[in-house]
Structure 1
Amino acid sequence: MRRFGCLALALAALISAPAGAQQLAYGEAAGLGPLSTQVATVTEVVEEEIVEEAGGAAAGSGRFVASSPVSGLAALPRGVARYGPFRVLDAGRAALVGPTDERSPAQFLAMLAAHPAIATLELVECPGTEDDRANLRLGRLIRARGLATHVPDGGSVRSGAVELFLAGVRHRAEAGAEFAVHAWADEDGREATDYPASAPENRAYIAYYREMGMSPAEAAAFYAMTNSVPNAQARWLTAAEMGQWVRQD
């Protein structure tokens, strides 16, 4: 897994520490049993429900943009319960705050098991992912469960989190939202353009975009755009610019 800068690690630590404690308390109150039992059960569901894509993202690959150049971003919601980077806002909405990792698909399913009426995922402060394979699995779960994705005014969707925005059965970004894209990098520092276009590592993303509703030409063009800048940099897009690539409802 890639090593990120101190800011990225601090963000992850800030988010994950209280999340575990609150998830345990809330899960037990909801009658789900201890957290270890919840995660074990949900992990079994993940294994049963998800058919792995052919090939797959490069082992150890991740995409993460730790900070945003825009000031005045959306306020981080507290929520009534936390499941890793997910925060339950009310009966019908949850928010994503922080990076996803290998635990996120199971945490997402645990949240929906306890709050089955959630229909919208608000992408508020989303710096990316530490595990691209798990992130694509999470995106497929979002689509399979029929959630809409919404980026509020001031919301920031960066790097691997863009795949989660695409996952919504409907997706919408307010005028003040921002997006950042760049190439993924594996644990050896190789990026998408270091692999043949036909390599499984590249085909996995094209296949994902096709599943999210893009035509073959749209999927190829969007993937090329995301890889137009190296992993160490980022290409920033407004909501309107993202709308040129992704149809919004």
Structure 2
Amino acid sequence: MPRPACLVLASLLAASPLSAQVIAYEAVEVDADPFVTGGERSLPPAPAVMPAGPALVPAGPVALPAYGPFRVLDPRRAALVDVTDGRSPEAFAAMLRDHPGIATIEMLECPGTEDDLANLRLGRMIRAHGMATHVPAGGSVRSGGVELFLAGARRSADPGAEFAVHSWMDDTGLEPDDYAAAAPENRRYLDYYRQMGMSLVEAEAFYAMTNSVPFASARWFDAAEMARWVRLDAAQPAEASPSTPPATMTVIAPAPSPVIALVLDSPATLQ
């Protein structure tokens, strides 16, 4: 189980692991990932690798429009507060249909994904809409959540934001280094990073960094170190709804940071 949701709010936000894999075939779209296998990233509790930022919890009960792992904060912003799965791209599309002005994804508690294919598809949708991604102080972006952070046309992270990456492992026990550098199992991520604006050199360097961490462990780092690997922009002032009162936050001691695990099913396991 992942650690408890680390969220914000008084009148704005509501806070909101992963189990057995659900494998589903997906239609291949232009520039889409050619794989037809899903993925799962679970987050069991474990001792922190680095000090985590403060956890933010709702100051009181609030009801925000919910679309899968997304919560609509105001006409311009939505929060990502949970694990993504195979239904998340459709939930995202429904959110934009109902709230077309959303331009920023606030990444508050992003444990990872239950479906790697759908997660990469979601990232491409975020980039196609020109959205910004932002991690506030106390926000936590792990595993597949990092791919979604990279999807932002503008990316920003406040001091106190945390990130975690690690190597993947497939269901045969193989990790990235067990495959040729140009193998589809590795190319899928390099192609995605290129689509998110990285040069080939940047994509290869970032992917090598994530794969330098064993499958059973995780590398935790802050916004300053993330800025060494990818371009970060200054956060833009939020355009909150005039009827929405300012947010307040209650800070509590951080929960233990989890170690990340990723399992990708190979084509041989498809039914």
My pick for the range that moved more, 121-130 or 224-233, is: 224-233
Instruction: Label 1:102 to 1:189 Cα distance change in 2 as closer, same or farther (>3 A).
Output: farther
Matched, 1:160 2:144: yes
Alignment correspondent of 1:199: 183
Match of 1:74, SS state, is strand
Which structure has more helix as a fraction of its residues? Answer: 1
Q: Which has the higher contact order (CA 8 A, sep 6+)?
A: 2
Identity of matched residues, %: 59
Amino acid at match of 1:161: G
Match of 1:130, SS state, is coil
Alignment correspondent of 2:30: 51
Match of 1:222, SS state, is helix
| CA–CA distance in structure 1, aligned partners of residues 185 and 98 of structure 2 | 35
Q: What is the deviation of 1:246? A: 1.0
| CA–CA distance in structure 2, aligned partners of residues 153 and 120 of structure 1 | 16
Q: What is the deviation of 1:230? A: 1.9
Alignment correspondent of 1:91: 75
Alignment correspondent of 1:19: none
**8 Å CA contact retained: 2:53, 2:162:** no
Counterparts of residues 162-177 of structure 1 (less than 5 Å):
162-177=146-161
Match of 2:169, SS state, is coil
Unaligned runs of 5+ in 2: 6-25, 234-271
CA deviation map 1:25-84 (0-9, x unaligned): xxxxxxxxxxxxxxxxxxxxx969x4253533x824333435583262233695521111
| CA–CA distance in structure 2, aligned partners of residues 201 and 112 of structure 1 | 32
**8 Å CA contact retained: 1:175, 1:239:** yes
**What's the Cα RMSD here?**
2.4
Unaligned runs of 5+ in 1: 1-6, 13-45
Q: What is the deviation of 1:131? A: 1.1
Alignment correspondent of 2:110: 126
Counterparts of residues 1-249 of structure 1 (less than 5 Å):
7-8=1-2, 50-51=29-30, 53=32, 55-56=34-35, 59-67=37-45, 69=48, 70=52, 72-75=54-57, 78=62, 80-249=64-233
Alignment correspondent of 2:19: none
| CA–CA distance in structure 2, aligned partners of residues 235 and 101 of structure 1 | 23
- What TM-score comes out, normalization by structure 1 length? 0.76
